[in-house]
Amino acid sequence: MKPITKIYDVIVIGGGASGMMAAGRAAERGKKVLLLEKNKNLGEKLKITGGGRCNITNAEEDEHILLANYGKGKPFLYSPFSQFGMKDTFSFFESKGLPLVVQARKRAFPKTEKALDVYKVLEKYIKKGNVEVISGVKISKISGKNGHIEKVIASGKEFSAHSYILATGGISHPETGSTGDGFKWLRDLGHTVEDPTPTIVPLAVADDWVKELSGVSLSFMKINFFINGVKKLSLKGKILFTHFGLSGPLILNAASKVADMLHDGQVTATIDAYPDTDIGALDKKITKIFDANKNKIFKTAFKKIAPEGTVYALLPLLKNIAPDTKVHSITKEQRRSIIDLLKALPVSVTGLMGYDRAVIADGGLSLKEVDTKTMCSKLYDNLYVTGDLLHISRPSGGYSLQLCWTTGYVAGSHA
């Protein structure tokens, strides 16, 4: 093994969102920085985030409301967010030529809607600071004793610095290199690491009609979740049907609650395709459509009633009405069965999809072992930890990347 010949001020391990921010910030302070990345290229997960559009932050101006989205992490985050908060994220990217726009649910995106442009800003940031980047390196060990990190062993070489920033990410999107290595190293160093569970993931379902609608997205649906037939949760929003089940922001953000429900019994759901229309009003609407199409076959008229793109998947669920039945011969009872179906489309939840489909997985370093004013470990005086390595839950909507920008900047400011 080659002996250490060059000692850096800061070594950053992991070239994702928080790692690049941390490296750029440390370099901006005049530090000699080395960034180690196991992939051939930096920012692999960042380049695909938000479906390639990159939900860069959430533009909630009330800090109490914003931080409430981080669950039990809220009290730990006031200090780091006071150093680099949501408004600082806007200033940082816009001052570097990337204007942001705010869309539904206060989600902020680059105006270009290209995640690659976010990556390019960070790439320029680290280049400007002369950060040395070594990519394609496999780190085998982070060596420390007596509360001090001494070196990193990577691809048969030893690297040493005065401070180390661990920014390897969690375990969502393992295809981008997020395979939980950082969790292992933290445990090896004696830190408490909470086991991750995929918290923002799609739901797997058993129903063929759902899978037949793969790719169809419906806005303003209401979904009710039941445990053993007892209603436990009710939500409204956009639902995306997939080849394995249900996805979309509404479903992703409900996943952790559904995970808890699955421990308690059989979970079923119903989707209300007309959440703002009561049964009486829906009956009148259907009667009016039937009167205008009384000589046509039911299949044709149903297109005007069912949500767009769902007709052929839903028709088989109406077992008491043949698709080619003439509309004028449909009985009051059959009409009622149409209403009942549209107000409660049946779904049987079989589980959550795994880490490979997780948007965010929680788990990570216990916040009790981090000084969140600096992001420094309480066990090692020169080890800083950022981003998805921290045990902080959060919904989708820009909160995860904001956590990366905040913790990365704070670590880079203090290392």
What pTM does this model have? 0.69
The residue segments making up the domain with residue 284 are 202-353
For the segment 10-38, the average pLDDT, to the nearest whole number, is 97
What HEC string does the chain produce? CECCCCEEEEEEECCCHHHHHHHHHHHHCCCCEEEEECCCCCCCCHHHHHHHCCCCEECCCCHHHHHHCCHHHHHHHHHHHHHCCHHHHHHHHHHCCCCEEECHHHEEEECCCCHHHHHHHHHHHHHHCCCEEEECCCEEEEEEECCEEEEEEECCEEEEEEEEEECCCCCCCHHHCCCCHHHHHHHHCCCCEECCCEEECCEEECCHHHHHCCCCEEEEEEEEEEECCEEEEEEEEEEEECCCEEECHHHHHHHHHHHHHHCCCCEEEEEECCCCCCHHHHHHHHHHHHHHCCCCEHHHHHCCCCCCCCHHHHHHHCCCCCCCCEHHHCCHHHHHHHHHHHHCEEEEEEEECCHHHCCEECCEECHHHEECCCCEECCCCCEEECHHHECCCCCCCCHHHHHHHHHHHHHHHHC
In a domain, 347, yes or no: yes
Q: Is the pLDDT of residue 74 over 50?
A: yes
Cβ count within 10 A of residue 315: 17
Domain boundary among 353, 380, 401: 353
Q: Which pLDDT belongs to residue 254?
A: 86
Q: Which pLDDT belongs to residue 2?
A: 61
Same domain, 42 and 147: yes
Q: Which pLDDT belongs to residue 252?
A: 85
In a domain, 175, yes or no: yes
Q: Which residues pair with 246 in a beta bridge?
A: 203, 241
Same domain, 171 and 63: yes
Q: Is the pLDDT of residue 257 over 90?
A: no
Same domain, 164 and 251: no
Same domain, 149 and 46: yes
Q: Is the pLDDT of residue 177 over 70?
A: no
Domain boundary among 353, 378, 393: 353
Same domain, 113 and 99: yes
Q: Tell me: the pLDDT tens digits for 106-137?
A: 889 999 999 999 999 999 999 999 999 999 99
Domain boundary among 307, 329, 353: 353
Same domain, 230 and 168: no
Residue with tokens 């043949």: 322
Q: Which pLDDT belongs to residue 355?
A: 60
Contact (Cβ atoms closer than 8 angstroms) between residue 25 and residue 408: yes
Q: Which pLDDT belongs to residue 179?
A: 57
Q: Tell me: the pLDDT tens digits for 259-281?
A: 778 877 788 999 999 999 999 99
- Per the prediction, the chain carries an average pLDDT of 91
For the segment 27-39, the average pLDDT, to the nearest whole number, is 97
Q: Which pLDDT belongs to residue 72?
A: 85
Q: Which pLDDT belongs to residue 187?
A: 94
Q: Is the pLDDT of residue 174 over 50?
A: no
Same domain, 42 and 131: yes
Same domain, 135 and 216: no
In a domain, 267, yes or no: yes
CB contact set of 116 (below 8 Å; sequence gap of 6+)? 47, 52
In a domain, 2, yes or no: no
Q: Which pLDDT belongs to residue 335?
A: 94
Q: Give residue 351's pLDDT band: very low, low, confident or very high (50, 70, 90).
A: confident
Judged by average pLDDT, the poorest of 194-203, 220-229, 318-327, 382-391 is: 194-203
Phi, psi of 75 (to 5 degrees): -65, -25
- Four-point Cα dihedral 277, 278, 280, 284, nearest 10: 10
Cβ count within 10 A of residue 25: 28
For the segment 390-414, the average pLDDT, to the nearest whole number, is 91
For the segment 303-312, the average pLDDT, to the nearest whole number, is 93
How many domains does the structure of the chain reveal?
2
Q: Is the pLDDT of residue 333 over 50?
A: yes
Q: Is the pLDDT of residue 55 over 50?
A: yes
In a domain, 291, yes or no: yes
In a domain, 237, yes or no: yes
CATH number at residue 125: 3.50.50.60
For the segment 319-345, the average pLDDT, to the nearest whole number, is 95
Cα(40)–Cα(121) distance, integer angstroms: 19
Contact (Cβ atoms closer than 8 angstroms) between residue 298 and residue 330: yes
For the segment 87-112, the average pLDDT, to the nearest whole number, is 94
Q: Tell me: the pLDDT tens digits for 397-406?
A: 788 899 999 9
CB-based burial, 359-395: b 16+ in 10 Å, e otherwise: bbbbbbbebebbebebbbbeebebbbbbbbbbbbbbb
Same domain, 157 and 290: no
